[in-house]
Chains A and B, each alone.
Chain A
Amino acid sequence: MPELVKERDKFADHLLCSGHTACPGCGQALAARLVVRAAGRNVIIVNSTGCLEIFTSKYPESAWEVPWLHSLFQNTAAVASGVEAALKVIGRLDKVRVIAQGGDGSTFDIGFGAISGMFERGHDILYVCYDNEAYMNTGIQRSGSTPTFARTTTSPPGKVSLGNLRPKKDLPQIAAAHGIPYVAIASVGYPMDLDRKIRKALSIRGPKYVQIHVPCPLGWGTEPSKTIDYARLAVNTGLCPLIEIEDGVKTAIKIPARVPVEEYLKGQTRFRHLLEGTGRKEEIAEIQRMADRNIEVYDLIAK
């Protein structure tokens, strides 16, 4: 091993460092690492209860090299509002950035009210949602972000059920409806785009919302080595549109290589009930319609 590299083996540069207990191939761990890498050291992170909090903060082994606080499940945005207010009164808000982060559970559902309040009050906080589409930390239960027909333990398919029947809550649009300066959807499948969006968000004053689509090998039933592949497939079907909404103006990255939704659904255990046997053609068509609608609404195909 080259000596040059050994010198560079500086773990302290990694602000979310190794030794955390995420599952191998965890999309959220990767995304969180990329977020704090983009944010740098001059940041205070408030984290909700969830996988990310649990696998990085088992006393006394913390994986965080930046100031970090975990309080409860539903209050992340409110706690972050307090951190921001304190930084403001001591005159450090210009240099120190505040990030509030959590999974889709604490963002879409239980913490929704607090986030809305934070957006409405105009706090200078970046809210990052790691969206793996279910309450993963407690064992894969359905959330407001769980896509239609996905299997979760509280929306299992069975003799009289096809899994979760409700569509995904459109939280980015809800965030934009608050009139905040920046909203974005990113994907851990495209790390440089994710990095760009985090840096951009942090350069803006006021509330920001970035939702990062992250596969969960355990919850989705995907190969750990294919986490980035599945994240890219979600983008390339149109199901995960990489949009930005800046002061109400929507832009989107064109789909690099369009694929039908079945390419994305197959290989995910949570959708297996749609593909077994002759397959549930109508349900797959419905998912395809959702993808098509995104493509149309956000203009995702290059002309």
Chain B
Amino acid sequence: MKITLGTVTKPGGSRANKTGAWRTSVKPRFLQKNCIGCDVCALSCPEGCIFGTGQRTYYANEDFCKGCGICANVCPVHDIEMIPEGGEDA
């Protein structure tokens, strides 16, 4: 690893840090049943790890999801539930 002048660093290096390993108990499961594609879950994720392009396409990238549960809490149609870690893929 190089130490640059003034510890200047390039963008995006944080993606090397897989914060998904922080999860201890729960992770989100996107039911993709009632989803209306409102994008609120993606907008509300502090990690920016929820992606989707329309109705019933949303998911959380498990490499980074910390399992905070905000998405499940804000979904207006309750289409996300927090399931035990080790359950099915979102």
Task: With CB as the reference atom, state the residue of chain A lying closest to B43.
Answer: A191
The residue on A at minimum CB distance from B17 is A19
Q: Cβ of B70 and Cβ of A225 under 8 Å apart?
A: yes
Residues on B with C-beta less than 8 A from A56 are 14
Q: Interface size (B, Cβ < 8 Å)?
A: 42
**Residue from A1, A16, A223 within 8 A of B59 (CB atoms):** A1
What total count of A-B pairs have CB within 8 Å? 121
Contact residues on A (Cβ < 8 Å of other chain), bracket: 35 or more
Per-residue interface assignment for chain B, residues 1 to 29, with 1 indicating a CB less than 8 Å from any chain A CB and 0 otherwise: 10100010111111111110010000000
Q: Is B15 within 8 A of A18, CB to CB? A: yes
Are B19 and A19 within 8 A (Cβ)? yes
- Known contacts: A18-B49, A30-B46, A60-B1. The answer to whether A228 contacts B15 by CB under 8 A is no
Q: Are A16 and B74 in contact (CB under 8 A)?
A: no
Q: Is there an interface contact between B10 and A33, defined as CB atoms closer than 8 Å? A: no
Nearest chain B CB to A139's CB is how many angstroms away? 20
Given contact pairs A2-B57, A21-B17, A226-B73, enumerate 13 new A-B contacts (beta carbons under 8 Å).
A11-B15, A11-B48, A18-B19, A20-B17, A21-B19, A59-B9, A60-B13, A62-B14, A63-B14, A191-B44, A225-B68, A225-B73, A227-B46
CB-based contact A29/B46 at 8 Å: yes
Q: Do A19 and B14 touch across chains, with their CB atoms under 8 A apart?
A: yes
> Is A20 in contact with B57, judged by CB distance below 8 angstroms?
no
Chain A residues in the interface with B (C-beta under 8 A): 1-2, 4-5, 8-9, 11-12, 14, 16-22, 24-27, 29-30, 33-34, 56-57, 59-66, 191-192, 223-229
Interface, chain B (partner A; CB < 8 A): 1, 3, 7, 9-19, 22, 40, 43-49, 51-53, 57-59, 61, 63-64, 66-70, 72-74, 82, 89
A63 / chain B contacts, CB cutoff of 8 Å = 12, 14
Verify A62–B73 contact, CB threshold 8 A.
no
Tell me the dominant secondary structure on chain B's binding face: loop
Known: A18-B64, A60-B9. A228 touches B14 (CB 8 A): no
Contact of A19 among B18, B40, B52, B70 (CB under 8 A): B18
Chain A residue nearest in CB terms to B54: A4
Contact: A33 with B69, CB < 8 Å? no
Q: Is the Cβ of A22 less than 8 Å from the Cβ of B46?
A: yes
Give A19 to B73 CA distance when docked, in angstroms: 22
Interchain nearest-CB distance for A53 vs B (Å): 13
Question: Which chain A residue shows the least CB distance to B72?
Answer: A225
Contact A8 B19 (CB under 8 A): no
